[in-house]
Structure 1
Amino acid sequence: MTVDLLTLLGPVSLEEFFNRYWESRPLVLQLDRAALCQSLLQVPDVEFLTASLGSLDAKWIRLVNNRPGGPMREFQRPGQGVSMDRILDAYREGTTVVLNDLQRRWPPIRDLASRLWHDFNDAAELPLRAVGVNAYLSPPNAEGLAAHFDSHCVFILQISGRKTWTLYDEREELPSPDGLDPSASRATRADAPGTRVHEVTLASGDFVYIPRGLVHKAQTADSHSLHLAVGLYPCTWGEVLADAIRSVPACRRSLPRGSLSGTHLSPETQRAFASVMQSVVDRTSAATAIGLARTEIERLRERLQSRGFERCHAVEAIDRHTRVVRRGDVRLSLTRQGEKVVMEIGSGNSFQAPAAAEPALRYIVENRSFTLSFMPGMLSEGSKRVLVKRLLKEGVLELAPTEETCQTVARTM
């Protein structure tokens, strides 16, 4: 079974989740789906991923135990990668092993992050810039991190063992997901976490949604715990406005000389500020700002689904019987410009072809799956193959599954 947004939310509909819980209150679901979660990652996988690191770069791994500790180099042998013996010793003494950004290193987690990104941006129509996944392996009787809040929303998926989560009434109001706002320096609330409002012990298959800014902590008792923390990074109005403002030339001017001197703003500085703000008002609109955000999401979409090596192989394999499939997440449009026809791909790419290719291109836009032999128009078979190869390279098309391709060959021979 595929792990996606609907699966994780279980009995809670998308409408209910976004209306009642998103960025406002936690959601706890204790369901019987241990096998589903364990298909993503297991304890032996954590050991493999840890031991395979060439160095203990904080980008990929952290060792935390809610108390001051020695430097990470203590767990590394010079020139020999990580020292698993030392890491295991620290683990036995209460240290939690944190593997960061597993969507970059572990295929099942990569697929999970990709599906969630598309579920949010497409099915739920809530723009996300990124999905990041960290794994936390804790020994019994351990508390890796003190009470704290995160600057992004988090899905917790309990993989194995048990862990008790404590949620507090204290919260930071919508901290910035980019971590650049002043609240980031107050992320730890060990001394004054607030009043405990909810406590739950998660077992394998359980799920918690924690909105950004909500103070929480987690600890184990008589069992180890392996869980995934799925970080959700939404597009915010602040980011949209910042991108739009950067597109206004007046905002790219340097500050006037002397503008930071003294305790009072000079009349010249105040006039310069008013002039810049007027330029923003005159040259920025909701359509402009949202358009820039939409372009950025489309670029992220193309990057997530590049699949470059597969396309290279597919380009060399096609013939008139090869079935190809137009990717449903790629938006296409055609326009005629004199003796040329232009295909717009998403929000940023396009290519031109002779007008004679218009029937074939329009057929591609209107049909989800086809073979070269069914493409209409006056193009030769060689020209159709060149056209399809180009669209495979652009990521507009991809090869159909093997069984479907074989059935097509049988029908058309």
Structure 2
Amino acid sequence: METYSFEDFVGDRDVFLAEHFNKKPLLRKGALAGRLDGLPSVRQLDDVLALETTPPSYLRVTKGGKGVPSGAYTRTVARGAALAEAVSPEKVYELFRSGGTVTWNSLHHVLPSARRLLAPFTDTFACEGEVVLFVTPARNDGFAPHHDSIDVYVVQVDGTKTWRVWATPEIRRGDEGSYTPEELGEPVIEVTLAPGDVLYVPHGTPHAAAAKSGLSLHLSVGIEPRRWRDLLKDTVAAVVEDEEFHGFPYLADGEGGAGGAGEAAAAAGLSRQIELLRDRLAHLEPVAEAKRLARVGRERSGAGRTREFARLHAVDALTTDSLVRRSAAPVEIGDSDGTKTGIRVGGHRLAVPDAVARSLRELDGGRPVTTSEFFPGVDPARSLSAARGLARIGVLEAAEHAVFPVPDANGEPRNSRQKTPDSTPHTANHTDDQGK
């Protein structure tokens, strides 16, 4: 089972971030040569195309660099009393045979192997991303020269495709844009990608590609790292969750009877809230907040995947000899009332025996302990029961395996880096994909 890291795609991470990221394209010939078995491939496309529940919006067909109207490859189907549009595989095949490029957006929504391919990127940049599959028939251009609004990491999987990539402009225009070859001049990279080659194209960089000798399939990992304005919005949103910001002001406009006095009161209230916000932001611990922003970024939809059933299965399989440890979930441990201590995790509030609270504090450094020793002073079966209970809500995890995703108050995973007894993170393997 192949395991991929971010370095497999870009080489030395520090060199890539210093010399290429957000600056200029990067070509890595043979970066994944001989290591493509786990990636989505041509042989899976028929199964993906036959998924009857997949909305047509996932699929796009282009010919001659222009989009084909979706009505040319969809059909109307009856689902109960309602009518819906569905992809017609036969129409897609016909368009492909006649020179159309087929694009499958958000392939990670469908294939676990595509989601694992995405994981090293979303983990590195702490943001969501997308895997898009492009399959082009022989001797056909895919798209006219254009630029994208996101960074693109291209992995050639089957066949070959010739790419032209122009210099990344200092000032990048708009979200997307098209060009003519004449206005672009000479490309800085002109290369035929073979299976295993990787190409990085920064956002706003003009590029074009064409299949030559045979059918070509490549995967594009699209990443849009969060900008400072995005991170600051997340920080402020977290700060204003405090109860002191939960009031309901009346922003009088002078026409509702309160007049100038109402406007003055609203302005004064707003001033107090701004001052409070300024004070809370001034007292934030930057290192802790940076870690929180990274964790939140990795939890977003499209970043990583949930393994909650596998996590709970592992919890049920714990025995008195099993090792457990504190998970990455934030836990608030309160004061003792003499016999029990209150704790809060993921929206859960509960009281645990003081001995259990002491164990949780002692395990904060990450060291493991057997479940029979987790609750000192009681028989092993009761200690195991206490450990299982805390593991179910995400406070503890099985130490024999890596970190499981811990659910938050809404039941969403808190951590996208995980292993289960039968899976490895950041891998791509055909065994759990469609059509196997």
- Specify if TM > 0.5: yes
Using the TM superposition, give the Cα deviation of residue 207 of structure 1 relative to its aligned residue in structure 2, in angstroms: 0.5
Residue of structure 2 equivalent to 1:21: 20
Q: Is the 8 A contact 2:336 2:342 kept in 1?
A: no
Mapped to 2, the partners of 1:99 and 1:2 lie a distance apart of 24
* Alignment partners' CA distance in 2, 1:310 and 1:97: 35
SS at match of 2:143: coil
Match of 1:298 among 280, 295, 298: 295
Distance in 1 (alpha carbons) for counterparts of 2:227 and 2:178: 23
1:6 aligns with 2:4: no
Contact 1:324–1:369 (CA under 8 A) maintained in structure 2: yes
The answer for the alignment partner of 1:188 in structure 2 is 178
Q: Distance in 2 between matches of 1:275 and 1:215?
A: 47
TM-align CA RMSD: 3.9
Residues 388/394 of structure 1: CA separation in 2 closer, same or farther (3 Å cut)? same
Q: Displacement of 1:293 after TM fit?
A: 6.2
- Among candidates 145, 149, 153, match of residue 151 of structure 1: 149
Matching of residues 34-73 of structure 1 within 5 Å: 34-58=33-57, 60-68=58-66, 70-73=68-71
TM value normalised by structure 2: 0.71
Q: How many angstroms does 1:26 deviate by?
A: 1.1
Note closer, same or farther for the CA distance 1:325–1:2 as it changes in structure 2 (3 Å cut): farther
Decide which of 195, 200, 210 is 2:191's aligned counterpart: 200
Equivalent in the alignment of 2:385 = 386
Structure-2 change in CA distance of 1:55 and 1:334 (3 Å):
closer
Residues 326, 376 of structure 1: alpha-carbon distance in 2 compared, 3 angstrom cutoff = closer
Instruction: Mark the CA change 1:245 to 1:338 in structure 2 (over 3 Å): closer, same or farther.
Output: closer
Distance 1:360 1:173, change over 3 A: same
Equivalent position of 1:141 in the other structure: 139
Distance in 2 of aligned mates of 1:313 and 1:277? 46
1:108-128 CA distance string (max 9 Å, x none): 22222223333x1xxxxxx42
2:83 pairs with 1:86: no
Moved more, 330-339 or 140-149: 330-339
Higher helix proportion: 1
Aligned equivalents of 1:100, 1:193: Cα separation in 2 = 29
- What letter matches 1:148 in structure 2? H
Shift in CA distance, 315/142, structure 1 to aligned 2, threshold 3 Å: same
Please list every run of 5 or more consecutive structure 2 residues that lacks an aligned counterpart in the other structure. 79-85, 255-263, 402-420, 422-436
1:391-410 matches, cutoff 5 A: 391-395=390-394, 396-398=396-398, 400=400
Q: Distance in 2 between matches of 1:397 and 1:153?
A: 35
**Structure 2 residue matching 1:229: 3-state secondary structure:** strand
Residue matched to 2:356:
357
The amino acid that maps onto 2:223 is L
Segment drifting more, 19-28 vs 48-57 = 48-57
Matched residues in 2 for 1:291 and 1:65: separation?
50
1:98 Cα deviation from its structure 2 partner: 1.2
Cα gap change, 1:313/1:235 in structure 2, threshold over 3 Å: closer, same or farther?
A: same
Q: 1:281 to 1:311 in 2, by over 3 A?
A: closer
Q: CA deviation at 1:5?
A: 1.0
Q: How many Å apart are 1:96 and its aligned residue?
A: 1.2
Are 1:155 and 1:210, in contact at CA under 8 Å, matched by a contact in 2?
Answer: yes
State the AA in 2 paired with 1:313.
H
* Other-structure match for 2:314: 314
CA apart distance, 1:174: 6.4
Partner letter of residue 209 of structure 1? Y
Q: Deviations over 1:288-345 (max 9, x none)?
A: 7886664454245457454221233334333313x245477x2666745234546676
Q: Is the 8 A contact 2:156 2:217 kept in 1?
A: yes
| Equivalent runs, 1:96-115 vs 2, <5 Å | 96-115=101-120
Q: How many residues are paired up?
A: 369
Change (3 A) 1:287 1:173: farther
Secondary structure of the structure 2 residue equivalent to 1:143? strand
- TM-score, normalising length from structure 1? 0.75
Structure 1 residues 27 and 318: alpha-carbon distance in aligned structure 2, compared to 1, 3 A threshold = same
Change (3 A) 1:285 1:93: farther
Read off the aligned partner of 2:90 and give its amino acid letter: D
Could you say what secondary structure the match of 2:77 adopts?
Answer: coil
Unpaired runs of 5+ in structure 1? 121-126, 176-182, 259-267, 406-413
Instruction: Give % identity.
Output: 25
Could you tell which deviates more after superposition, 28-37 or 100-109?
28-37
Deviations 1:198-221 (A, max 9, x none): 211100000011111211111111
Deviation at 1:37, TM superposition (A): 2.2
Gap change, CA 1:216 and 1:335, over 3 Å in 2: same
SS at match of 1:36: coil
